[in-house]
Structures are given as structure tokens and as C-alpha cells.
């Protein structure tokens, strides 16, 4: 009864073709590969219910990618319950685009596509072709993991790994009122707060958020007790080296390498817990951090990659926590557990656009639409300047569209996954979620341990976007502006309440299960 069957698969989805790398306002066309970009799939099934975890080293999941993966999985094996696919992005800023060639306005308001501007002298691979490759590989990974299900067990626990730090700096004064302040739709949205703001400033007050140094781990084993893989859940996006022009999984590559150096080529499925206001950077300790890396690692940077030593440092901390938790968690391997996986659509209150914001956006868009594209300089310089301008135009267009539709559509639908496996739970959301919302859910969850999975795929073209707290909206700044937030802090609390409600509903159906 409730015997667990577990299956794993992974695919390398890197490409040597010159593909767009989303994550900045300007287009970056890849010039090779630093380290593998992967998709990883894990199926846990007990005969009555199941979960299919799917993780990808990309920035966000948009443009109907989940729909296409589900369709392809169903075509391979109609018996696979495709609605139970819980897919997440790790938010590396050096992953290939999965958006397709024509970026939907709602899907890519921070993104430009090649059909929106003149492009010459730069070879750019088809994003449609890559999207088809990516979704095929992801679907094959899911089908492969499902086919490989065999009796096994799980263990779980938490440890400590310092990875994320608050990236929102708060000041005593309002930055937008300083002489020469930049006001625009990209990064010129600062108020009392700024993302990655200067801390060496006489008006620096504090960091807006604290930090969450927990790492949550779910280990899997063959029936005989041999380790096969793990879900590694860290509340921090993987966005070191985010300005590189080569593909990379960011710090997850170093984490995988460090773990596998000790345990062999096991599967690692990374999840990003709530980290919308966190990043893997220490803003006010840069000098002492540089000294640490120099003495610890010397000057050898074999991949010639930015933030390499920070990535290596983070990877080692994750690997250390992995071992520390495994040493005691493996004493309680469960081979039979109840699973309850609820998938439902919740509707969250949007962040509404005011009439003044609407009129301002129309005025600014008119100015940008008569501005000419850059035609001088190198082709790459032209591409960078023109793609930034198109991205800014799209941000204004989206505000206009939101205002004109918000009365008829005041709520945003979101596919929510909440699942229990014995005494642990997972809960998803589609956002770059501010840390406070995670803590509100975890503090009220009846489960022993609750994993939050942000940047999870949702049907349709949308995905990503930040979900800021009340204090974030007060401080303004990038990630807490109208351009970054589709859902309001009120909608964020609605997400909390809906998630907690499902957690409490399914908890009575759980039990401790059988041990190995």
C-alpha cells in the first residue's frame, strides 16, 4: 500500500548555435557554452497519485512552453498524468531563450524580438527552432523518468547554506528626487529603494529584506538504499555571471560538480524557493569577499567567467549542506507514503494601473516611437541599443494594455500546485516571489517541512514577473514597480491564503508511511 516508485532522467539542452540569452533589457547572442544547461525530471508515484518535478536552467518559463511540453509528453505516452508536471526555472541569466521568435507582448515586456527592429550583420539562430528542441528534450526527460519508475525510497531534511542576500537597498531619502535622477521604464524607477543600490552612500539606511539561509533537500534511493538523486531547494536565483554571452547554469553548475565529486553522477534537480528580493551577491562586503577568494582560490579562473569564485564558493556551501543533511536524513528513508497532489487555478488581484500612470505611459511611448533606431557603430552595438529601446517601448505598451483591460479582468489566473508526500509538502507559484510571502506560507503550513517553488510554469504565454510585498511597493525600485508587478501585494496575500488552505485540506490525508 502506497509503495513509492521513483524515476529520474535529465537532458543537456545547451546549444552551440548563436541563440538569444534573455535576462537583460538588451539582446545577448550566445558565443558558446561555459557549462551545461540542463532539464531534469523526477517522478514520484505511489499508484494513487504522483508528482512530476521538472527543472530547467533558464531564466523564466513563458510563451506556452508548459502547454507544448505537456502535449509532447501525452503524444509519447498518453498514460502520463501531464497535469501533474510541476515545472520550474532556476532563473539563470545565461540560459537560452525559450520564448520563440515572436515575443508576445504579455510574455516578454522586458524583451525585444528580432521582428521588432532592424537587425543586420549579426547571426541569430531561430528561437522557434530552439523552443521546439527544448520542449522536445523536456518532454523526453519526463517520459524517460516515468518509464524508469522503480521501487525506492525518499528521505528529507533541511540544512544551512548561505547563498542569497537582500538585493534591495533602502535609503533615508527618495532617490527619484535627487538631482540628475534618471526616470524611465527600465531601471529608472527608484524611490526609497533600489535594487543593487550603492551601500557606500551617506543616506544608506538598511537592506529591505533579511535573508533565508535554509536549504531544503529531498533525497531519493533505490530499494536497497543507494542514493540516486536529490531535489535541492534554495531561496536564491542562480544569477551569477548574468552579463556573460555564453550559456551557463550559473552556481548550480558548481553545486552539481561539488556534490557529484563525492557521490558520483547522481541526479540533481534544483529548485528556486522564494527569492524575488534576494540574490547571490553581498553588496557591502565586496572588499573582504575579494580577499577571501584570493586567499582561498588564488587567481586561477579556468573558464574565464565573471563571478567564478563566488559560484564556486556557493557550490561548496550547497555541497557541504547536502552531506550534512544526508548523514542524518538517511536514517529515516520512507518506501511507502501517501501522496496528494492538487492542481487548481487561483485568481489573484492585479496591481492596478492609475489614470496618471496610463497617461504617462502613452506620452513616453509616443516619444520612443518617433525615436530612430541606431544605425551607426558595429552591428552588435546597434543590436544592443535598439533592443533596449524596443524593450522599453514594450514595457509602456504593456502598462497601456493593462489599464485598458483591468476593469474587465481585475484578477490574474495562476496554476497552483500543492502536494503532500507524507510529512512534507511542496507549493508552487509563477513569480519571482518576495521572501516574506514564503515565510507566511511556511509558518502556517501544518506540514513538517514545506518547500516553496517559485518561477513555476503556468499554461499560456505568461510567466515570471515579480510579486512584491507592501514594503517593497512603498520603497519602489526595480522589481517593485508597475512594470515589474502584475499582481499586487494584496494578490500576494491571496496566494498565501489559497496555498495554506490547500495545505490544511490535504494534511489529514498524510501519514508517516513505511521505512526502509
CA-to-CA separations, 269 to 40, 158, 421, 503, in angstroms, rounded: 6, 16, 17, 23
Smallest CA-to-CA distance from 168 within 183, 190, 184 is with 190
**Residues 6+ positions from 344 with CB-CB distance below 8 Å:** 415, 416, 502
What is the model's pLDDT at position 107? Answer: 45
Give the model confidence (pLDDT) of 315-338 as tens digits.
Answer: 999 999 999 999 999 999 999 999
What is the model's pLDDT at position 108? Answer: 47
Measure the CA–CA gap between 91 and 37, rounded to whole angstroms.
12
Using N-to-C axis directions, what is the helix angle for 65-76 and 127-147, rounded to 10°? 50
Average pLDDT over residues 197-223: 96
What is the model's pLDDT at position 516? Answer: 63
Give the model confidence (pLDDT) of 57-74 as tens digits.
Answer: 999 999 999 999 999 999
Is 50 exceeded by the pLDDT of residue 151?
A: yes
Q: How would you label 14-30 residue by residue, b for 16+ Cβ within 10 Å and e otherwise?
A: bbeeebbbbbbbbbbbb
Smallest CA-to-CA distance from 3 within 152, 137, 104, 123 is with 152
DSSP string, 234-247: ESS---TTTT-SSB
**Percent of the residues in the chain that have a pLDDT greater than 70, as a whole number:** 97
Which of the 8 DSSP states describes residue 512?
-
Smallest CA-to-CA distance from 228 within 177, 263, 276 is with 263
Burial (CB count <10 Å: 0-12, 13-18, 19+), residue 425: buried
**Is 260 within 8 Å of 219 (Cβ atoms)?**
no
Which of helix, strand or coil describes residue 429?
Answer: coil
Which residue shows C-alpha cell 535529465? 10
Beta strands in 321-406 (DSSP E): 334-336, 339-349
Residue 293 is inside which H or E element, if any?
helix 286-297
Q: How would you label 370-394 residue by residue, b for 16+ Cβ within 10 Å and e otherwise?
A: eeeebeeeeeeebbbbbbbbbbbbb
What is the model's pLDDT at position 185? Answer: 87
Which of the 8 DSSP states describes residue 331?
G
Measure the CA–CA gap between 509 and 206, rounded to whole angstroms.
44
What is the model's pLDDT at position 210? Answer: 85
Q: Residue 344's beta-bridge partner residues?
A: 416
Smallest CA-to-CA distance from 218 within 44, 342, 50 is with 44
What is the model's pLDDT at position 117? Answer: 86
**Is 167 within 8 Å of 340 (Cβ atoms)?**
no
Using a cut of 0.85, tell me whether the model's pTM lies above it. yes
Q: What are phi and psi of 387, to 5 degrees?
A: -70, -35
Beta strands in 173-275 (DSSP E): 193-195, 204-207, 214-222, 227-234, 267-272
Measure the CA–CA gap between 471 and 25, rounded to whole angstroms.
26
- In the chain, where are the structural domains located? 5-165+209-348+411-515, 354-400
**Percent of the residues in the chain that have a pLDDT greater than 90, as a whole number:** 92
Answer left, alpha or beta for residue 450, where phi above 0 means left and psi between -120 and 50 means alpha: beta
Is 70 exceeded by the pLDDT of residue 358?
A: yes
Burial (CB count <10 Å: 0-12, 13-18, 19+), residue 185: buried
Is 50 exceeded by the pLDDT of residue 298?
A: yes
What is the model's pLDDT at position 303? Answer: 87
CA-to-CA separations, 188 to 112, 236, 480, in angstroms, rounded: 19, 24, 12
Kindly state the cell numbers that stand for 251: 552556481
Which of helix, strand or coil describes residue 194?
Answer: strand
Residue 473: Cβ within 10 Å count: 18
Average pLDDT over residues 97-116: 71
Q: What are phi and psi of 454, to 5 degrees?
A: -90, 175
Average pLDDT over residues 11-26: 96
Amino acid at each position: 500500500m502506497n509503495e513509492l516508485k521513483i524515476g529520474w532522467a535529465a537532458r543537456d539542452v545547451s546549444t552551440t548555435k548563436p541563440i538569444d540569452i534573455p535576462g537583460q533589457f538588451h539582446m545577448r547572442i550566445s558565443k558558446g557554452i561555459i557549462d551545461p544547461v540542463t532539464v531534469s525530471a523526477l517522478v514520484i508515484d505511489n499508484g494513487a497519485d504522483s508528482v512530476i518535478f521538472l527543472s530547467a536552467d533558464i531564466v523564466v518559463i513563458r510563451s506556452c512552453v508548459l502547454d507544448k511540453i505537456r502535449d509532447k509528453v501525452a503524444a509519447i505516452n498518453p498514460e502520463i498524468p501531464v497535469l501533474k508536471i510541476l515545472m520550474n526555472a532556476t532563473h539563470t541569466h545565461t540560459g537560452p531563450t525559450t520564448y520563440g521568435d515572436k515575443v508576445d507582448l504579455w510574455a516578454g515586456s522586458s524583451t525585444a524580438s528580432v521582428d521588432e527592429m532592424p537587425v543586420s550583420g549579426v547571426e541569430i539562430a531561430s528561437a522557434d527552432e530552439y523552443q521546439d528542441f527544448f520542449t522536445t528534450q523536456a518532454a523526453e526527460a519526463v517520459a524517460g523518468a516515468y518509464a524508469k519508475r522503480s521501487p525506492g525510497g525518499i528521505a528529507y531534511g533541511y540544512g544551512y547554506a548561505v547563498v542569497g542576500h537582500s538585493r534591495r537597498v533602502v535609503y533615508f531619502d527618495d532617490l527619484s528626487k535627487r538631482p540628475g535622477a534618471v526616470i524611465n521604464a527600465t531601471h529608472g524607477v527608484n524611490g526609497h529603494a533600489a535594487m543593487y543600490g550603492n551601500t557606500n552612500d551617506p543616506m544608506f539606511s538598511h537592506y529591505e529584506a533579511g535573508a533565508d539561509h535554509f536549504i531544503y533537500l529531498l533525497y531519493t534511493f533505490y530499494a536497497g538504499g543507494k542514493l540516486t538523486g536529490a531535489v535541492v531547494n534554495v531561496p536564491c536565483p542562480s544569477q551569477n555571471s548574468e552579463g556573460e554571452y555564453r550559456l551557463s547554469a550559473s552556481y548550480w553548475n558548481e553545486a552539481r560538480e561539488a556534490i557529484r565529486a563525492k557521490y558520483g553522477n547522481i541526479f540533481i534537480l534544483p529548485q528556486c524557493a522564494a527569492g524575488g528580493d534576494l540574490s547571490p551577491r553581498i553588496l557591502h562586503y565586496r572588499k573582504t569577499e575579494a580577499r577571501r577568494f584570493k586567499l582561498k582560490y588564488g587567481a586561477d579562473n579556468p573558464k574565464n567567467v565573471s563571478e567564478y569564485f563566488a559560484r564556486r564558493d556557493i557550490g561548496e556551501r550547497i555541497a557541504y549542506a547536502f552531506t550534512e543533511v544526508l548523514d542524518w536524513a538517511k536514517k529515516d528513508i520512507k518506501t511507502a507514503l501517501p501522496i496528494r497532489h492538487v492542481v487548481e487555478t487561483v485568481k489573484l488581484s492585479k496591481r492596478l494601473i492609475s489614470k496618471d500612470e496610463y497617461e504617462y505611459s502613452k506620452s513616453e511611448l509616443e516619444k520612443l516611437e518617433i525615436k530612430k533606431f541606431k544605425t551607426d557603430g558595429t552591428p552588435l552595438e546597434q543590436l544592443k541599443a535598439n533592443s533596449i529601446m524596443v524593450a522599453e517601448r514594450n514595457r509602456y505598451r504593456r502598462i497601456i494594455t493593462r489599464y485598458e483591460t483591468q476593469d474587465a479582468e481585475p484578477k490574474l489566473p495562476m496554476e497552483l500546485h500543492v502536494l503532500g508526500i507524507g510529512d512534507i509538502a511542496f507549493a508552487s507559484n509563477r513569480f519571482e516571489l518576495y521572501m516574506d510571502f514564503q515565510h507566511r506560507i511556511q509558518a502556517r503550513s501544518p506540514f513538517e517541512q514545506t518547500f516553496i517553488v517559485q518561477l513555476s510554469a503556468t499554461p499560456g504565454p505568461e510567466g515570471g514577473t515579480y510579486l512584491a510585498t507592501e514594503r517593497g511597493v512603498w520603497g519602489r525600485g526595480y522589481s517593485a514597480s508597475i512594470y515589474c508587478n502584475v499582481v499586487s501585494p494584496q494578490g500576494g496575500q491571496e496566494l498565501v491564503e489559497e496555498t495554506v488552505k490547500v495545505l490544511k485540506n490535504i494534511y489529514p490525508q498524510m501519514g508517516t508511511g513505511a521505512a526502509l
